[in-house]
A and B are shown apart, each in its own frame.
Chain A
Amino acid sequence: MNETASIVIQNLDKFFGKQKALKNVNLSITKGQIYGLLGPNGAGKTTLIRCLIGATKPTKGNLSVLGFNPISQKSKVRGLIGYMPQSPALYEDLTAFENIRFFSFPNRKDNFAKRINEVIEFVGLTKRAHDQVYKFSGGMKQRVSLACALVHHPKILLLDEPTTGIDPKLRESFWHHFRDLTQQGVTILVSTHQMSEAMFCDRLAIMHEGILLADEPPRQLLWKQQAKIKIRKDNKVGEKVVSHYPEQLPKLLQKFGLDASINRIEIEEETLEQVVLEMIHTHEKEINSGDNS
């Protein structure tokens, strides 16, 4: 195992009957990194996270979480990770404080009650700490759920769509906190639908139908984008679509010799969302052509 890798996944398959949820997934997540899992519903993001917490047994492949196998060495792994599920798993008739206390009790450390109050303050629920959870909005439940995952200072945080239903201001503060945690050596694996959030990650995995389509820093993914270049010379407009435009654009402009009459160059960039969707569409076409042949 790479010494700096907190999570290593090798040749991972997970089948539910005939349905293939994960197909030959390989990835390595460096300590102190925010690693994003991006993909549509049913891509396999949650299944991958559940394999890492030992809640789902892989059909094939090797997993290592901080050097431990999450299936056979479950008890060692569980004290070291914090997991936030996609839908908040909370007791509606208990208060936020009681839920956080219950779900962090087996991994409690010194000054347990003080620590619970700290995380409650961080998720912005101090005034509602002793209200029963059934009175909370969806976003507030998400915050309680995140607090449960943070109490015991985990070395790895596994967050399944943590900011769904959270307002933009609090979302920003969450991401700042995630970044602070990585400075302390915490590794974060986060699944998300939000492209804007994906840009906060150090590295991104694009998943579709159980397959890893890409595993790169988001900036590098953006370089895959196509750019539509519109050049207006006198009253005529020329258009050209280029890939890897940071390298190609200078070459293209040289052809025009940067004539003084070129007075305006517009670049319409693809967003990360378009890049990801393009990858998924290409993958779908490959699957369909494979089915037809």
Chain B
Amino acid sequence: MKTILDNIGVITARVLNQLRRDRRFVAISILFPLIIIYFIKIVFDVLAPPSFNISQYVVPYAAFIVHFITFILTAIVLVRERVAGTMAQMFVVGYKQIEIIIGYLLAYTVLATVQSLLVLLELNWLFDLGFSSAQFASMYLVMWLLAVISMAIGMLVSNFARNEGQVFPFIPLVILSVILSGIIVPVEKLPDWAQILSYLTPLYYANEVLQELLKGGTLLDDWLMFAILPIYGLVVVGIASISLREKD
């Protein structure tokens, strides 16, 4: 067990060390969501009527942006490792699948923690949403969980791509999840078969919990939806670990 923890620690430290030196990657990960949210503010200022409940939409939109950017960057970084041969070399020297996945997840979680916090602070300030500290902390937890799940999905997808270009066919699936999650139209309005697909996207559960919080509720009010998020993350991490390929 100590060996596993030591190896996870070394992988995490190595990825954080690389992130520290890759300022462009860190800047893209953190600044892009903030810039997109700024433009969403401009769109809402122009299009939304005065009586429109902005928070009902902008908070889930922000959650989607974090979900999308985190997913795509994680997938590309891991595919890059595969192309460079460093992933194969990690296996050859004795690192195990679960150590690699968790090592990466812990390192990128540091990035997701900062990213989710800045996104929520920007939302609160830009749209003057006036969240209470309890509301803010709960929303932060949901958004953070979603970011971590997005990374795990990115890792899973990277296992099925031989180069960066092969990540792109997966992007429409993530975009489709906006419609399936109920952010734009209520899930009940979707065809029955599409409603089943909604349950496959983590954005659906995050949106359900966020809507409850925006109405003034707590995480316990919709505890089942909230509990599904970490379970969803664990399942994806498990599948990503099992499917992490070493052989040709």
Contact B93 A98, beta carbon cutoff 8 Å: no
Interface size class of A (residues with CB under 8 A): 20 to 34
Question: Which chain A residues lie closer than 8 Å to B168 at the CB level?
Answer: none
By the criterion CB–CB under 8 Å, are B17 and A94 in contact?
A: yes
Question: Is A243 close to B, CB under 8 A?
Answer: no
User: With the chains together, A89 CA to B90 CA distance in Å?
Assistant: 9
Q: Are B14 and A102 in contact (CB under 8 A)?
A: yes
Residue in contact with A104 in the complex, picked from B7, B17, B18, B93, CB distance below 8 Å = B93
Note all chain B residues with C-beta closer than 8 A to A93. 18, 21-22
Q: Tell whether A53 pairs with B7 under 8 Å between CB atoms, given A89-B84, A93-B21, A94-B17.
A: no
Of the candidates B10, B22, B92, which one forms a contact with A83 in the assembled complex, judged by CB atoms under 8 Å apart? Answer: B92
Inter-chain contacts of B247 with A (CB < 8 A): 55-57
Q: Which of B22, B89, B246, B248 contacts A103 (CB 8 A)?
A: B89
B95 within 8 A of A: yes
Q: Does A226 reach chain B (CB closer than 8 Å)?
A: no
- How many residues in B have their beta carbons less than 8 Å from beta carbons of A? 23
Contact of A56 among B85, B90, B248 (CB under 8 A): B248
Given A104-B93, A106-B95, A107-B93, are A55 and B88 also a contact pair (CB < 8 Å)? yes
Cβ contacts A to B, 5 pairs, < 8 Å: A55-B246, A55-B248, A75-B94, A106-B3, A148-B93
Write out, one digit per residue, whether chain B residues 134-156 have a CB within 8 A of any chain A CB (1) or not (0). 00000000000000000000000
Which positions 189-238 of chain A face chain B at CB distance < 8 Å?
none
B15 to chain A: closest residue by CB: A91
Give the 8 A-B CB pairs with smallest separation, nearest first.
Answer: A106-B94, A89-B85, A89-B89, A78-B94, A93-B21, A89-B86, A105-B10, A56-B248
A40 close to B (CB within 8 Å): no
Question: A107 touching B94 by the CB < 8 A rule?
Answer: yes
Task: Say whether B125 faces chain A, with CB atoms less than 8 Å apart.
Answer: no
Number of A-B residue pairs having CB atoms within 8 Å of each other in the complex: 63
B137 CB, min distance to chain A CBs, angstroms: 35
Nearest residue in A to B91 (C-beta to C-beta)? A55
**Chain B residues near A106 (CB, 8 Å)?**
3, 7, 93-95
Are A90 and B86 CB-contacts (below 8 A) given A56-B248, A98-B14, A105-B10? Answer: yes
Decide if A28 is an interface residue (CB 8 Å cutoff): no
Given contact pairs A55-B88, A85-B85, A132-B21, A91 touches B94 in the complex (Cβ within 8 A) = no
- CB nearest neighbor in B for A106: B94
Q: Does A87 contact B (CB under 8 A)?
A: yes
Q: Is the CB of A53 within 8 A of B92?
A: yes
Nearest Cβ distance between residue B57 and chain A, in whole angstroms?
39
Central interface residue in A78, A87, A132, by most chain B CB within 10 Å: A78
Q: Which residues of A contact B88 (CB under 8 A)?
A: 55, 85, 89
User: A139 interface residue, CB < 8 Å from B?
Assistant: no
For B89, list chain A residues within 8 Å (CB): 83, 85, 89, 103, 148
Tell me which residues across on chain A come within 8 A of B10, comparing CB atoms: 102, 105
B84 partner residues in chain A, CB cutoff 8 A: 89
Chain B residues within 8 Å of A104, by CB: 93
Q: In whole angstroms, what is the CA distance A135 to B18 when docked?
A: 15
Fill in one digit per residue for A48-86: 1 if any B CB lies within 8 Å of its CB, else 0.
Answer: 001001111100000000000000000100110001010
Chain B residues within 8 Å of A90, by CB: 86
Interface residues of B in 1-23 (CB under 8 A from A): 3, 6-7, 10, 14, 17-18, 21-22
Determine whether the beta carbon of A16 is less than 8 Å from that of B94: no
Question: How close is B73's CB to chain A, nearest CB, in angstroms?
Answer: 16
Q: Given A56-B247, A102-B10, A105-B10, do A78 and B85 touch, yes or no (CB 8 Å)?
A: no
